């Protein structure tokens, strides 16, 4: 391994609390060669510099110098070992990076070395100074957005679009309620919903969060910590209810959501931290539906469609990611703690290199 370029990266060697996120200061930089990527793999008992190198054959890949990486709630579930899909240990978390293309592998045509980009997935993990990503997961980042904003696009905006368009089939003029609208996905959903001609209602847990929601496209904001807030939402719809609900915390809100729907309404389950009991009759009364949303299942065609609309939004100026707390790479464990435990989300949490 002598002569290998080294980088700093977060490595997870076991599932558990945020403390399992450990900064490794001497990880070999993954290098895309002719149709392959060299992925560093930590072995038990090895130092970071002594890591073995596994080879993954792939076309259309590139190396990106990472300047910022978004932190998503799903990454905390994966790290804890409670998520349905578990990565092979050890691994580096992170999908939403923003940075500059360093080198491109065979077959890459969409971007070139030196281009500013953001990603929706990585091959080698985003909590690192360099990452490898496939061409279909890499998108150009307009000069109007900085790298921290670029790191706030991937999962939140693609998830919001998938929920609103591909799953809920939302139409202009319908009413949408976005629960947890001050977080990363929530802000994205507010901006998208307003641009798509929907009547937008959002909830947040603090006055600051409510202001943020309105500034980012909601016609009205409600405090979901207040008693009777659902009555206020129903009053705002003249008792009709909302057509679509984007739900970030289903284990708390789902039963109430079903009672706030209009006839034929749809609840999109984007996040949940446990089980909840509902009355199925609530779905029968309005012929409503509940559907889960996972970006992982989006087809290449759906991703391409989403990317085109989002880029148009960046050019037009209505797509402006809101960056919340920023943490240095070595504070990844604190970021994972805060994204779950700190009340009142305000934009996307981002790691900076």
pLDDT bracket for residue 351 (50, 70, 90): very high
**pLDDT recorded at residue 54:** 40
The residues pairing with 351 across neighbouring beta strands, listed in sequence order, are 69, 327
Q: What is the pLDDT of residues 274-297, one digit of tens each?
A: 899 999 999 999 999 999 999 989
- How many helices (H) and strands (E) the chain has is answered by 10, 18
The first and second tokens of residue 115, run together, are 């281009």
CA dist., res. 190 & res. 185, Å (int): 9
pTM of the model: 0.88
Burial class (CB in 10 A: 0-12, 13-18, 19+), 61: buried
Q: Going by C-beta distance under 8 Å and a sequence separation of 6 or more, which residues neighbour residue 310?
A: 139, 153, 157, 158, 161, 319
Burial class (CB in 10 A: 0-12, 13-18, 19+), 176: buried
Which position has the token pair 């990452």? 131
Q: Going by C-beta distance under 8 Å and a sequence separation of 6 or more, which residues neighbour residue 304?
A: none
Q: Taking the alpha carbons of 74, 76, 81, 87 in that order, is the dihedral positive or negative?
A: positive
Mean pLDDT of 189-196: 98
**pLDDT recorded at residue 3:** 53
């Amino acid at each position: 391994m002598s002569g290998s370029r080294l980088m700093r990266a977060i490595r997870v060697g076991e599932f558990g609390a945020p403390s399992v996120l450990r900064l490794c200061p001497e990880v070999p930089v993954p290098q895309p060669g002719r149709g392959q990527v060299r992925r560093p793999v930590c072995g038990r008992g090895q130092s970071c510099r002594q890591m073995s190198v596994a080879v993954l054959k792939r076309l259309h890949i590139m190396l990106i110098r990472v300047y910022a990486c978004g932190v998503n709630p799903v990454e905390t579930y994966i790290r804890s070992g409670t998520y349905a899909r578990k990565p092979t240990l050890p691994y580096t978390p992170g999908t939403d990076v923003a940075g500059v293309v360093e080198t491109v592998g065979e077959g890459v045509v969409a971007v070139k070395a030196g281009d500013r980009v953001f990603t929706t997935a990585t091959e080698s993990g985003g909590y690192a100074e360099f990452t490898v990503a496939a061409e279909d997961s890499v998108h150009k980042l307009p000069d109007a957005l900085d790298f921290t904003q670029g790191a706030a696009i991937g999962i939140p905006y693609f998830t919001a679009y998938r929920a609103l368009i591909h799953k809920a089939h939302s139409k202009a003029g319908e009413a949408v309620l976005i629960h947890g609208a001050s977080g990363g996905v929530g802000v994205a959903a507010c901006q998208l919903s307003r641009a798509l001609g929907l009547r937008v209602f959002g909830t947040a847990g603090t006055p600051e969060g409510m202001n943020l929601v309105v500034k980012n496209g909601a016609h009205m904001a409600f405090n979901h910590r207040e008693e009777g807030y659902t009555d206020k939402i129903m009053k705002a719809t003249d008792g009709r209810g909302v057509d679509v609900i984007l739900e970030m915390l289903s284990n708390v809100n789902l039963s109430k959501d079903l009672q706030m729907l209009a006839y034929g309404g749809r609840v999109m389950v984007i996040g949940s931290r446990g089980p909840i009991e509902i009355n199925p009759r609530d779905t029968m009364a309005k012929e409503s539906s509940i559907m889960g949303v996972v970006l992982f299942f989006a087809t290449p065609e759906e991703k391409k469609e989403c990317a085109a609309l989002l880029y148009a939004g960046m050019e037009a100026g209505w797509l402006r990611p809101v960056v919340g707390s920023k943490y240095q790479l070595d504070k990844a464990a604190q970021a994972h703690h805060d994204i779950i435990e700190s009340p009142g989300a305000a934009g996307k949490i981002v790691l900076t290199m």
